[in-house]
A and B are shown apart, each in its own frame.
Chain A
């Protein structure tokens, strides 16, 4: 197997480390590098690339838009690199046409296997990503039949925080009730507002009071 890779990554130290690692792999012939999607797309026009490794967070065009452009115009497999633990991105990566993703922290150890997998036409979704994709499929089905379905996307802890929030508790009180730190409460509230796609606590509480409490 001979591979010509394009690595699009804006963090220079990570780019250098990953490119150096890739060049040492058997089967890798060439690694071109780009710092943003614009430069990556330009290189794709002039180099015989077999596979693209693409950072999710890029300046300019951004990772997702770059991925969409590549997969819309070519059949090239795209492997996303991300430092997000949040699996909320998995669905968007999937929709953008990527064939899998690697977490940056684990990427050096897994990339050889992932590349081989993509080169034979398979994909690379780990256990967490697969679970997230399954959830998003279930979620869409539930959401279609039940408008309050997006409550299902909340974790148990986020639901507990939401219940307290709907009862009118402030963060300090919620922290006391659930025996967790106030900072943790704040971050739960932040995440659950995003998941419920609302901009404040009152709207979140309303969703719970009108839909969640009946579930």
Chain B
């Protein structure tokens, strides 16, 4: 394959570089998930708790996932109750990874042109991160094992079954709870409830 890519004319240079970059990023993401999971299972997930702003982290995650969503004309919509004061004690890079994985999962399993909502709210001493969509929802038989390692849909949609598993590990390392359900309208919903632990 590299030979074929190398033989591409210079005219197509930009497209080729972009294609390789995009594929590489996908591979790197998978490898990174794999390494995180491997390390977490060997020695437990090491979290570095520090005061951080949930909104800023969510916006950063959106910036990472937006180009991937845009390729399939999926729009990501952020909803938050407040613009300031969303502080909590958390590991910022793991929390960003968690939100990115939830968004990516929704992007991969939604049809072209659909919407994915990321909703941040404060509920009874907890922060809620709620990612939902208006798609087909999770296959009901998959729901009980969605957060298990290597859980796959088995219907020819992508995913190694690591992303949501890693989400669970990250949530639990923050002493939170992660749950999945199908909404009344049929879409898929993942809810992460994190204890407030104000800085």
Given contacts A12-B18, A12-B19, A14-B23, contact A60 B112 (CB under 8 A): yes
Q: Judge if A57 is at the interface, Cβ distance under 8 Å.
A: yes
Contacts of B72 in A (CB 8 A): 35-36, 59-60
Q: Are the CB atoms of B145 and A199 closer together than 8 Å?
A: yes
Q: Which 10 A-B pairs have the closest CB atoms?
A: A13-B23, A63-B156, A64-B156, A12-B19, A62-B156, A62-B157, A38-B112, A59-B108, A16-B19, A17-B4
Once bound together, how far apart are the Cα atoms of A190 and B24, in whole Å? 28
Q: Judge if B153 is at the interface, Cβ distance under 8 Å.
A: yes
Q: Which residues of A contact B (CB under 8 A)?
A: 10-17, 20-21, 35-36, 38-39, 56-67, 92, 108, 190, 199
The secondary structure that dominates the A interface is helix
Once bound together, how far apart are the Cα atoms of A56 and B155, in whole Å? 9
Once bound together, how far apart are the Cα atoms of A199 and B26, in whole Å? 29
Contacts of A59 in B (CB 8 A): 72, 107-110, 157-158
Q: Are the CB atoms of B1 and A65 closer together than 8 Å?
A: no
Q: Are the CB atoms of B150 and A190 closer together than 8 Å?
A: yes
Once bound together, how far apart are the Cα atoms of A14 and B109, in whole Å? 21
**B interface residues, how many (CB within 8 angstroms):** 32
Kindly identify, within residues 102 to 117 of chain B, every residue whose CB is under 8 Å from any CB belonging to chain A.
Answer: 107-113
Q: Looking at the assembled complex, report how far the CB atom of B136 sits from the nearest CB atom of chain A, in whole angstroms.
A: 9
Contacts of A12 in B (CB 8 A): 18-20, 22-23
Given contacts A35-B72, A36-B112, A190-B150, contact A108 B4 (CB under 8 A): yes
Contacts of B12 in A (CB 8 A): 16
Once bound together, how far apart are the Cα atoms of A164 and B145, in whole Å? 25
Per-residue CB contact flags for chain B residues 70-105 toward chain A (1 = under 8 Å, else 0) read 011000000000000000000000000000000000
Q: Which residues of B contact A (CB under 8 A)?
A: 1, 4-5, 7-8, 12, 15-16, 18-20, 22-24, 26, 71-72, 107-113, 144-145, 150, 153, 155-158
Q: Are the CB atoms of A60 and B111 closer together than 8 Å?
A: yes
Q: Are the CB atoms of B8 and A20 closer together than 8 Å?
A: yes
Contacts of B111 in A (CB 8 A): 38, 60-61
Q: Are the CB atoms of B157 and A35 closer together than 8 Å?
A: no
Contacts of A14 in B (CB 8 A): 1, 23
Given contacts A16-B5, A38-B112, contact A62 B153 (CB under 8 A): yes
Q: Are the CB atoms of B1 and A108 closer together than 8 Å?
A: yes
Contacts of A16 in B (CB 8 A): 5, 8, 12, 15-16, 19
Contacts of B5 in A (CB 8 A): 13, 16-17, 20
Once bound together, how far apart are the Cα atoms of A35 and B153, in whole Å? 19
9 A-B interface contacts by CB (under 8 A): A12-B18, A12-B23, A16-B8, A17-B1, A38-B111, A59-B108, A60-B109, A62-B155, A62-B156
